[in-house]
Structures are given as C-alpha cells and as structure tokens.
Structure 1
C-alpha cells in the first residue's frame, strides 16, 4: 500500500513539474515575442527615423502612462515634446503627431477621404454611429441622413428653440440675483446647451436650465463621467464590461452617474416607442433626428444604434458651445474695457430688452462676432489629436513622406496657440478678428475642426454662441468672485 501511495505522489510531482515547465515556457516565449516587437518598433519600423520618446516608439504603454496612470493631458505633453523634438514627433509605435499649422489642413483637408483610427473613437458608441464609423464612404451616408436638421436654413427656422432655452436660463439667473446668490457660469451654460440639444434633436426639453442652482443631475453626471474617457480609450474591455453591467451597478459604484443613467433610460424608452409606432412622429411639432434616422424603411437602425446616435448629438452639442461661452464670458467680464465695448454695441443694436433680435441681425455685429471667434480660440474645441489613417500609397505631410497605414493627428492647440498666426496667443484680443487681416484668420479657427468630417452641428453652435453672448451681456452686468481667467485649469479628456 505504501509503495502505491509513494508511486502516485511521485507521478503527481512529475505532473506539476511538467505544468510548471509548460507555463514557464509560455511566459518565456511571450517575453521573447514582446521583446522582439519592441526592438522592431524602435529600430526597424517604417517610423523609426522620426524622433520622439523611445518608450512611445516601443509600446502603447507610454500613452497609457501619460493619460491613465499619471493623469496628464496628452495635448499639453505634446507641446513639451515638440519643443524638444521638432515639428514631427512619434508618439506611438505607429502614430505621428504634427505641430506645423499647415499640417492641420493637410490632414483634415476638405478633399481628404482618410479613415479614422478607432482607438480613439470607439469610446463614443457601443455600435457604429456618425462619429465612430471609420471609413469615409459609410460615414458620409450616415452624416447625410441628419445633415438637413443642422443646415443653416433649418437652424434659422428653429432658432426660437435656442432662444427659449436661453430665456429659461435667464429666468434661473434672475432667481440667483433676487436671492443674492453667486452664479456658476460653466454649469449655467452647460444646462442651457443641454436643453437646446434635447429640444432640437428630440423635441423633449430636459429642463436642465430650470434646475435649482443649475445643478442638473444629468449635467452633473456628464461632468463626473469625463475623467473615465482616457481609461476607456486605452482599455476598451473595461468599457465593454461596464456597458454589460446593469445600470444600478454603475450608480452603486459612482452615485453621481444617476442622472446620466436616468437620461439613458429615458432616451431608450423614446427610441423603443418610436420603433414600435413610427406614426407617433406625426405628432411631433417639428422634425427631429428620429424623423431623419427612421426615414429609410429598408434600413432602420437598431435600438442601440439609435440611442448611440442620440447621445452622440448630446455630447457633441453640449460641451463645445458651453465651453466657448464660459471661457469667453469670464474673460469679457474680467476686462472692463472689452465688456463696455461689447455692451455698447449690444445696447445700440438691441435698444428695447423685450425686442429680442434674431440671429441674422446679431451676425452683423462686428465686435460680438470678434468676441465669439476669440472665445472659440480660447476654448480650443477638441484638444485630443483627432486621428486619421494615412491611405495606402502614403502621403506628404509637413514636407515629409508618411507611409500608408500610419496613424496621424494634430491637436487644435497647435493652431490656436501658434504665435505666427495669433501673436500674443495667451491674451484675449477680440480686435485681432476685426483688422484688415482678420479674414485670413478664419481658416485657422479650427474649434469645429475642418474637412469632410468636421462638426456636423457647426451652424447650431454658432447660433447658440450669438444668442448666448448677446442675451447674457445685454441683460446683465457681472463681476467675478474669487476667480480670474488665470485660475481656470483644464485636463485633456478629448475635450478640455
């Protein structure tokens, strides 16, 4: 009996030893493969001749370290790198970033048909949407469906919805004034922008502008969710796991997301009702994104695709306009001369406060227009490099041949902060947009991007900015409390 037990024990030890040797061999093989890949990336890759951090050339983990581990802003890190390495910097095994402003128009040219790199864009939708479709041809078909809703003609016709949201915001501001309470400018503009998007896109105002103290649960949730963007960008598996979890889990882990989950459920309910009863659209007072997306009976999007498209418009239409309003407003208020000049122009064009001017009238005001353009420059728009994939055959960018398949991009700040284009770029100078050379500056205002895949809602964005700035500075005299523009900091999470 003892002999058999010892024999079995010996066999067991031999089996475990074999298993250990097997796992050791697998681990060693993996390390050899990884080491070989690193050596290839640094020394033999087609991009090996371009300067940049060796760790960035070696592995994607360099960007993960910058954005996820240390929480730095990639765009600001790029400013540092270009100061060290020059106009072209390698920031990934297969990725280049450019600093020369002319490169921006080479990458995002109107005739460009380059695909998007999905490493960045996958975070914005579980299914493919207008923003996240990688190839141009498919994206254009999607874009053309909803483009009429955001045409200048339609925005002019629907501007009363923008004004209605602004009026509700002003009513809330009056409440703050009556009660002697300070105003959170960023949240007030965010709430207004959210209501504009929900009104125009869904014919269902969220009434965020009426939230006490502008503390809308949805806006607060959106703000709380922003820091997770870099994590989802580099670890899509985490995003997939979270989307598969019941919403209650997300709320349990982060209670601030309750407002976001509520609106997700509200939009999904609306989507399912319209999918089951498309005839309900006839009761809507005007056309919405659902009218456009459900117009093709032979190509009806899934529930999830409709929801993703809906939230694409919410995210895209909220931050850009409200950020520009915020950054512009605090700088106008901070500079009494600029504020006085703007208010004088508005008082002349808008003598009776009850006779609210239309967008077409406000667009004729030169100083207001200059304020808006300088505010857009300061708010920057999307600061992450909006990556594209160089097509087969390669391309010339910034005077250099770039191999096909290379991921390329350029952050807006390298245009908006360029001293050759915008002297004294850190100063808020509306007059730079009013001189004899002002017309030439328009091509360098890239807050809404450029090219065939630029911001779809640019006309709506301009409408919000004209009406927003005009109403705010015609109705109110403000002062900053315990804050200056220099105190405002930002982190690059796609948008600042």
Structure 2
C-alpha cells in the first residue's frame, strides 16, 4: 500500500497535466486563433467533453440550431468549428474544397475503411470508381423489380391490418391502431438493400420481425435482432466519438458502465451481422453464381476482372451498405407520411396528383405496387419527400471536414490547418433567410425555379465529391413506396396530438409510429 502511493500520486499528476493543464495552456496560447469565435460552452475551447455531454441529450443538432440563430460560427471543441451560414456549404463540402474528412471518421472506423469513412482522397476515388457503376441510375432501374417485390410484400401485410375507413373528424379506436409504420418501413428498407446489395432474401417482411444470424470471429453463429443491434451501436458511437484520439480507449472502458456495456454488446453483435451476410454471399460467388448486385461489383469490374479487394474491405462495404442503406431511408419514409398526416392540405394535393397520374392507366397493377416510371416525375410527390428530408434530415449531425495543413478560407475568413469545420444539415435547413418559415412543412417551396435555386443548400445527402452515393436508391424506394401506399390506403395517427419521438444518435432515430389503416374505396377518396 505504502509502496504504491507514490506511483498513484505520479499517475494522478500525469493525468492532471495531460487532461487539464496542457489543454488550458493550448487554449490560452491559441496558436490557431480560434478564441475569436464564441464557445458552445465555456469549456469548449479546452475540451470536447461539453459536446459529448450535449450528445447525451440525443438532440445535439437541435441545440446547435438554436445557438446558430444568433452566432454564425460556434466553437464546439478545442479544434472544431460549427457553421450556421449556408454559404459555408460550398467552402466546406463543395467539389473543389481542399478539406478532407476529419478525425471522427478515423476514430470510428474498423480495421478497414469503407466508402463513407475513408479519409484519403486517393483511396476514396479508388473505392468510388469500384462502386460507381453499381450505383448508376441505369442499374437502379434494372433493380426496380427488387424494390417492387419488397413493396408488394409490405402491402400484403398492410392489407391484413386494414380496418373500416375513419369518419371525418373522428379519433381512431385503440384496437384499430394496429400498424407500426416505422417498424415496417424499416423491414422494407433492410429487405430491399440486402436484395439489391448481396442478393440476400432476409424475409423480414414475410416473418414480421428482424431476427437474423451473426457470425463471431471464430466462425460460430448466433441469433439476434438486427435493428436492436444496429441502433445500439449507432447510439453508443454518437455519445463517445467526439473525443477523437481517446475514442478507442473510451469505447472499451465505458463498457464497465451498464448503460454503455449493453450498447457495447449490441455493437459487437452488429459487427457480426454483415460478416455473416458477406460470408454467405461469398459462398455463392465461389460456387459460380454471377448475380447482379453490389457484391459482384466489389469482386469484379464490368469486364469481369477481379478487383482483388481484401476481405476486411469487402465486409466493411457490406457493413455500411446495410447500415446507411437501410436506416436513413426507413427514417425518411416514416417522416414523410407523418408530415402528410399532420398537414392534410399537402396530403390531399399529393394524393390528387398520384390519382391523376394513374387515372388513365389501364394496366394498373392489381397488387397495388406503383411503377417508378409512372410517378418519378411527379413534382408535388418529390416536393413532399424533399420537404420532409429538409425538415427532419435522417442524418442531421455535423459531418466534420478537416482543413488542409496550409489552411483555407471559409466565408472569406482564413482558417488554419488541422481544424474540424462542419455544418449540420438541420442547421442549414432551418435557416430562415434561405428557407422562410423554416419550421413549417411547405412542399411548395421546392416547386419551379424557386425550388431549383434551393438545391445548393439542401444537404440531407451531404454535398460535393463525398456526397451520399446511395441517394438514387433512396429516392427510388421512397417514391415507389409513398406513391403505392397513398394510392391504396388511408391512414390516421392514433390521436390528433400524436408526436413522433426522435433520438439523435449517428442518425435521427425514431420511435414507433402506430397508425390506423384502411383501403381507399375509390380514387376520389382522400386519405385525410
């Protein structure tokens, strides 16, 4: 005991110097000149801990949006700046920006980088070249039958949930509110991306749950629920990631606390799910199956020449495909129906537009699945989707970019090298100067030339060379599903004042959205 005391004291002194004294010295030295910007919190210039505390509120982007109403630039960490002026989008994310993805992507990466978290521009270009052909619009149209198949399976379940139409002004009976739209759009998005990406039939829409197998490093498998594992991993990372270099250690140490430990176990289980899915698809590939999916594009180029990617890189790409390719689309699908139910005038307009587009369609599919080609150019339908994506972007958080070693100018202001600069999609989309009545759902703002002028400030899918490569898939799925369900059904929330609960992790996650559903009796009936 007495022997260890000096060592404990020395360790304590070292920790004090490292975590307190040194950051304070750096702050007052201010080599990067960041003290000229207002702090998010009095200690933000010294530590990332205040931002991590805000993250634990599960509403960090909403918090920043409030601060940015009075401050165009806010210091969120010792070397991090958040921007509230939409003109900064071009400087931070534009095609010619010298900024690269910041340390958050390195800290959160696994053993191999995937397309979303790779920082090196050369590696990113290599990866994007491999996948760009697979994500091309012409290929997506060829895969529409997979989206149609999943839509059909979802509609079959919806048919079984249908009740009598709701009388105007009435409140649904509790027993009639029998469909969790949030859960079933997530089953849809997972089934769809698995089929498109790896030709895997998960069957979530058929079985009505997300039970799946994962694979451990020793090759053994286990049963789990995909969404629980994915969202547990999503939330835990969002709480601790902003410590950058300390994240790997914090991530492990936090597991001793039950709250984090449970999410840590779910994260480990999640990691085994794409590993198992990739393993299954590899067996089919080795057996000689040439399937039209993303996996094939990972293994071979369009001429059949092998890409010779490491197995860890392939698994990483399957991981992000199953993650980003399902979560954001399901959130978006739920949000847009929720917004339409809360805004009956918009609902009536979009239903009338869909009905009119299909009025003379003698070959309308009795299954209820609407062809993408028939509705992809409907302006109000697209406006409803975009306005929902603006108001509640599925990934609202600041996507950090690091300034180059010799610095760069943002909004005409020189920012030295090694500074993380970012702009939250939520902050950009709630800018009153660009989006008047920014807190209101107004699809009309996206119509005509005025709508086109807003596109540079619409960053739901990020922007520039690092913009989301899967946006075309998401729009295809959202358009087909929304048109199909609005043509076939009427919906009502459980009560007029129902509010959809949101939890900000790495994405803006949603809780259940129970609805009453019924079959529309004719195209003259609205779903209001």
Secondary structure, counterpart of 1:477 in structure 2? strand
Aligned length: 466
Query: Does structure 1 residue 368 correspond to structure 2 residue 381?
Result: yes
Tell me what 2:296 maps to: 291
Tell me what 2:38 maps to: 51
Instruction: Give every structure 1 segment of 4 or more consecutive aligned residues whose post-TM-superposition deviation is greater than 6 Å.
Output: 213-216, 240-243, 250-259
Segment drifting more, 456-465 vs 371-380:
371-380
Per-residue CA deviation, residues 139-164 of structure 1 (Å, 9 max, x unaligned), is 11111101111111111111111111
CA distance in 1, matches of 2:414, 2:352: 52
**Structure 2 unmatched ranges of 5 or more:** 164-174, 213-224, 509-528
- Max Rg structure: 1
**Structure 1 unmatched ranges of 5 or more:** 1-12, 244-249
* 8 Å contact from structure 1 (residues 112, 452) kept in 2: no
CA distance in 2, matches of 1:261, 1:94: 31
Tell me what 2:365 maps to: 354
Per-residue CA deviation, residues 227-268 of structure 1 (Å, 9 max, x unaligned), is 22224524323656899xxxxxx9998897898477345314
Q: CA deviation at 1:484?
A: 4.3
* 8 Å contact from structure 1 (residues 42, 54) kept in 2: no
CA distance in 2, matches of 1:493, 1:219: 14
**Using a 3 Å threshold, how does the CA distance of structure 1 residues 406 and 242 change in structure 2: closer, same or farther?**
closer
**What value does the CA root-mean-square deviation take over the aligned residues?**
3.0
Q: CA deviation at 1:476?
A: 0.5
Residue from 402, 409, 415 that aligns with 1:396: 409
CA distance in 1, matches of 2:72, 2:78: 18
Q: CA deviation at 1:477?
A: 0.9
Listed as ranges, the matches of 1:471-486 within 5 Å are 471-482=484-495, 484=497
Secondary structure, counterpart of 2:162 in structure 1? helix
Residue from 377, 380, 387 that aligns with 2:400: 387
Segment drifting more, 386-395 vs 106-115:
106-115
Tell me what 1:197 maps to: 193
* 8 Å contact from structure 1 (residues 271, 307) kept in 2: no
**TM-score, structure 1 normalization:** 0.85
Tell me what 2:150 maps to: 165
Secondary structure, counterpart of 2:82 in structure 1? strand
Residue from 4, 10, 31 that aligns with 2:16: 31
Secondary structure, counterpart of 2:490 in structure 1? coil
Tell me what 1:62 maps to: 50
Tell me what 2:76 maps to: 91
CA distance in 1, matches of 2:429, 2:263: 38
CA distance in 2, matches of 1:362, 1:253: 41
Tell me what 1:318 maps to: 326
**Using a 3 Å threshold, how does the CA distance of structure 1 residues 436 and 299 change in structure 2: closer, same or farther?**
closer
Per-residue CA deviation, residues 364-396 of structure 1 (Å, 9 max, x unaligned), is 212112111112112313212111110122111
CA distance in 1, matches of 2:192, 2:269: 18
Which structure has more RCO (C-alpha within 8 Å, separation ≥ 6)? Answer: 2
Secondary structure, counterpart of 1:54 in structure 2? coil
Tell me what 2:283 maps to: 273
Tell me what 1:142 maps to: 127
Tell me what 1:108 maps to: 93
CA distance in 2, matches of 1:271, 1:408: 39
CA distance in 2, matches of 1:163, 1:307: 27
CA distance in 2, matches of 1:39, 1:257: 35
Segment drifting more, 371-380 vs 433-442:
433-442
CA distance in 2, matches of 1:484, 1:302: 52
Secondary structure, counterpart of 1:101 in structure 2? coil
Tell me what 2:519 maps to: none
CA distance in 1, matches of 2:380, 2:397: 30
Q: CA deviation at 1:450?
A: 0.5
Q: CA deviation at 1:79?
A: 2.4
**Using a 3 Å threshold, how does the CA distance of structure 1 residues 171 and 241 change in structure 2: closer, same or farther?**
farther
Secondary structure, counterpart of 1:426 in structure 2? coil
* 8 Å contact from structure 2 (residues 254, 261) kept in 1: no
* 8 Å contact from structure 1 (residues 325, 375) kept in 2: no
CA distance in 2, matches of 1:365, 1:491: 32
* 8 Å contact from structure 1 (residues 334, 484) kept in 2: no
Per-residue CA deviation, residues 6-60 of structure 1 (Å, 9 max, x unaligned), is xxxxxxx9xx46x533543453344245444222232112122222133111112
